[in-house]
Structure 1
Amino acid sequence: MGAGAVTPHTVRAELVEALGGSGGLRRRTLLAAGLPSATWPLAACRSGASLPPPATWAGSSPERGHRLRSPLPPLSSARPPRRAGALVLGGGVAGLSALRTLHAAGVQDAALLELEDSVGGNSRAHVLAGQACPVGAHYLPVPGLAAREVSEWLHEIGLMRFDALRGKSLPDERHLAHAPQERLWIDGHWQDGLLASTEGRPALAAQAQRFAQAVSQASHLGFAMPSQRAPFGAAHAALDAQTFAHWLQAQGLNDPHLLAYLDYACRDDYGAGLHTVSAWAGLHYFASRHGFKAPGTPLSEAEARSEGVFTWPEGNAWLVERLAAPLRAHLHPARTVLRVDEGKHGVDVWAWNEAKAELEHWQTPQVVMALPLFVSARVLANPLDALTKAVQGAHYAPWLVTHLQLSEALIDRPGMPPAWDSVAYAPAGSTSALGYVDNQHQSLRPDRGLHTGPGVISAYHALLESERAALYSQPAATWAQRVLADLRILHADIDDKVSAMALCRHGHAMRIPTPGTRSHPALAALRQQRGRIRFAHSELAGYSVFEEAFTLGWAAGQAAA
Structure 2
Amino acid sequence: MTALRRRALLAFGAGGLLAGCARPDASAIEGGFTGIDHARGHRLRAPWPTRAPDVTRRVHTLIAGGGIAGLAAARALRQRGHEDFVLLELEDTAGGNSRGTHIKGIACPQGAHYLPLPGADARAVQDWLEELGLRRRVAGRWRYDEFTLCHSPQERLFIDGHWQPGLLPLQGVGEATLAQHRRFADLVRQARQAAHYAIPVQKSAFTPVQLAQDAITFDVWLNQNGLNDPALRWYLDYGCRDDYGAGLGAVSAWAGLHYFASRHGFQAPGEAADDEGEDAVLTWPQGNGWLAERLAAPLGERLQAARVVGRIAPGRHGVTVDALHEPSGRLERWQARQVVVALPLWLAARVLDPVPAALRARAQGLRTAPWLVANLRLRAPLLDRPGAAPSWDNVLYGAPGLGYVDARHQSLSPVPGPTVLTYYRALGDVSDGRAQLLRQPWTHWRDAILAELGAAHPDLIEKTERIDIVRYGHAMAVPVSGALAQVARARAAARAGAARTEVAPLIFDDAPRLAFAHADWSGYSIFEEAFTLGDAAGAALA
Find out whether 1:74 has 2:50 as its counterpart.
yes
Find out whether 1:246 has 2:220 as its counterpart.
yes
Q: Deviations over 1:200-219 (max 9, x none)?
A: 42222111111111111111
The one-letter code matched in structure 2 to 1:92 is G
Match of 2:203 in 1: 229
Alpha-carbon distance between aligned partners in 2 of 1:162 and 1:207, rounded to the nearest angstrom? 39
Go from structure 1 to structure 2 and tell me whether the alpha carbon gap of 1:373 and 1:215 turns closer, same or farther (over 3 Å shift).
same
The one-letter code matched in structure 1 to 2:149 is L
Q: CA deviation at 1:31?
A: 3.9
Aligned-residue RMSD, C-alpha? 1.8
The one-letter code matched in structure 1 to 2:212 is A
Give yes or no for contact 2:15–2:451 (8 Å, CA) kept in 1.
no
Match of 1:208 in 2: 181
Pick the aligned partner of 1:261 from 235, 257, 270: 235
Q: CA deviation at 1:347?
A: 0.3
Match of 2:537 in 1: 556
Match of 2:7 in 1: none
Give yes or no for contact 1:436–1:458 (8 Å, CA) kept in 2.
yes
Alpha-carbon distance between aligned partners in 2 of 1:58 and 1:73, rounded to the nearest angstrom? 27
Q: Deviations over 1:374-421 (max 9, x none)?
A: 111111121122222222242111100000011222110100010001
The one-letter code matched in structure 2 to 1:112 is L
Q: Deviations over 1:45-103 (max 9, x none)?
A: x5875535123011111111111112222341331x21111111000000011111122
Match of 1:169 in 2: 142
Q: What SS does the corresponding residue of 2:539 show, helix, strand or coil? A: helix
Of 369-378 and 223-232, the range deviating more from structure 2: 223-232
Q: CA deviation at 1:291?
A: 1.0
Q: CA deviation at 1:307?
A: 1.1
Q: CA deviation at 1:446?
A: 0.7
Q: What SS does the corresponding residue of 1:534 show, helix, strand or coil? A: strand
Match of 2:30 in 1: 54
Give the fraction of aligned pairs with identical amino acids, expressed as a percent.
49
Of 524-533 and 171-180, the range deviating more from structure 2: 524-533
Match of 2:440 in 1: 474
Find out whether 1:395 has 2:367 as its counterpart.
yes
Find out whether 1:275 has 2:241 as its counterpart.
no
Give yes or no for contact 2:74–2:538 (8 Å, CA) kept in 1.
yes
Structure 2 unaligned residues grouped into runs of 5+: 1-10, 495-505
Q: Deviations over 1:94-147 (max 9, x none)?
A: 001111112222321021110011110001112211111111000000111110
The one-letter code matched in structure 1 to 2:376 is L
Match of 1:517 in 2: 483
Go from structure 1 to structure 2 and tell me whether the alpha carbon gap of 1:170 and 1:50 turns closer, same or farther (over 3 Å shift).
closer
Of 533-542 and 468-477, the range deviating more from structure 2: 468-477
Match of 1:331 in 2: 303
Give yes or no for contact 1:27–1:485 (8 Å, CA) kept in 2.
no
1:150-549 aligned at under 5 Å gives the runs 150-163=125-138, 165=139, 167-197=140-170, 200-220=173-193, 221-299=195-273, 303-426=275-398, 431-448=399-416, 454-463=418-427, 464-520=430-486, 523-524=490-491, 525=493, 527-530=506-509, 531-549=512-530
Alpha-carbon distance between aligned partners in 2 of 1:528 and 1:323, rounded to the nearest angstrom? 24
Give yes or no for contact 1:94–1:537 (8 Å, CA) kept in 2.
yes
Match of 2:8 in 1: none
Q: TM-score, normalised by structure 1?
A: 0.88
The one-letter code matched in structure 2 to 1:506 is Y
Q: CA deviation at 1:27?
A: 6.1
Pick the aligned partner of 1:93 from 68, 79, 82: 68
Go from structure 1 to structure 2 and tell me whether the alpha carbon gap of 1:77 and 1:231 turns closer, same or farther (over 3 Å shift).
closer
Go from structure 1 to structure 2 and tell me whether the alpha carbon gap of 1:478 and 1:346 turns closer, same or farther (over 3 Å shift).
same
Of 67-76 and 253-262, the range deviating more from structure 2: 67-76
Go from structure 1 to structure 2 and tell me whether the alpha carbon gap of 1:48 and 1:181 turns closer, same or farther (over 3 Å shift).
closer
Alpha-carbon distance between aligned partners in 2 of 1:457 and 1:515, rounded to the nearest angstrom? 34
Go from structure 1 to structure 2 and tell me whether the alpha carbon gap of 1:196 and 1:518 turns closer, same or farther (over 3 Å shift).
same
Give yes or no for contact 2:378–2:420 (8 Å, CA) kept in 1.
yes
Q: What SS does the corresponding residue of 1:365 show, helix, strand or coil? A: strand
Go from structure 1 to structure 2 and tell me whether the alpha carbon gap of 1:415 and 1:217 turns closer, same or farther (over 3 Å shift).
same
Q: Number of aligned residue pairs: give it.
A: 514
The one-letter code matched in structure 2 to 1:209 is R
Alpha-carbon distance between aligned partners in 2 of 1:489 and 1:47, rounded to the nearest angstrom? 13
Go from structure 1 to structure 2 and tell me whether the alpha carbon gap of 1:30 and 1:555 turns closer, same or farther (over 3 Å shift).
closer
Q: What SS does the corresponding residue of 1:394 show, helix, strand or coil? A: coil
Alpha-carbon distance between aligned partners in 2 of 1:189 and 1:356, rounded to the nearest angstrom? 54
Q: CA deviation at 1:489?
A: 1.9
Give yes or no for contact 2:135–2:143 (8 Å, CA) kept in 1.
yes
Alpha-carbon distance between aligned partners in 2 of 1:129 and 1:392, rounded to the nearest angstrom? 43
Alpha-carbon distance between aligned partners in 1 of 2:249 and 2:285, rounded to the nearest angstrom? 32
Q: CA deviation at 1:366?
A: 0.7
Alpha-carbon distance between aligned partners in 2 of 1:490 and 1:280, rounded to the nearest angstrom? 34
Q: What SS does the corresponding residue of 2:483 show, helix, strand or coil? A: coil
Find out whether 1:132 has 2:117 as its counterpart.
no
Q: What SS does the corresponding residue of 1:269 show, helix, strand or coil? A: helix
Q: What SS does the corresponding residue of 2:402 show, helix, strand or coil? A: strand
Q: What SS does the corresponding residue of 1:277 show, helix, strand or coil? A: coil
Q: CA deviation at 1:488?
A: 1.3
Q: What SS does the corresponding residue of 2:236 show, helix, strand or coil? A: helix
The one-letter code matched in structure 2 to 1:458 is T
The one-letter code matched in structure 2 to 1:125 is G
Alpha-carbon distance between aligned partners in 2 of 1:481 and 1:47, rounded to the nearest angstrom? 12
Q: Deviations over 1:274-311 (max 9, x none)?
A: 110000000001111111111111347xx342111000
Alpha-carbon distance between aligned partners in 1 of 2:141 and 2:124, rounded to the nearest angstrom? 16
Give yes or no for contact 2:264–2:273 (8 Å, CA) kept in 1.
no
The one-letter code matched in structure 2 to 1:286 is F
Q: What SS does the corresponding residue of 1:94 show, helix, strand or coil? A: helix
Give yes or no for contact 1:389–1:522 (8 Å, CA) kept in 2.
no
Give yes or no for contact 1:510–1:543 (8 Å, CA) kept in 2.
yes
Alpha-carbon distance between aligned partners in 1 of 2:519 and 2:459, rounded to the nearest angstrom? 39
Alpha-carbon distance between aligned partners in 1 of 2:53 and 2:342, rounded to the nearest angstrom? 26
Alpha-carbon distance between aligned partners in 1 of 2:458 and 2:224, rounded to the nearest angstrom? 40
The one-letter code matched in structure 2 to 1:341 is A
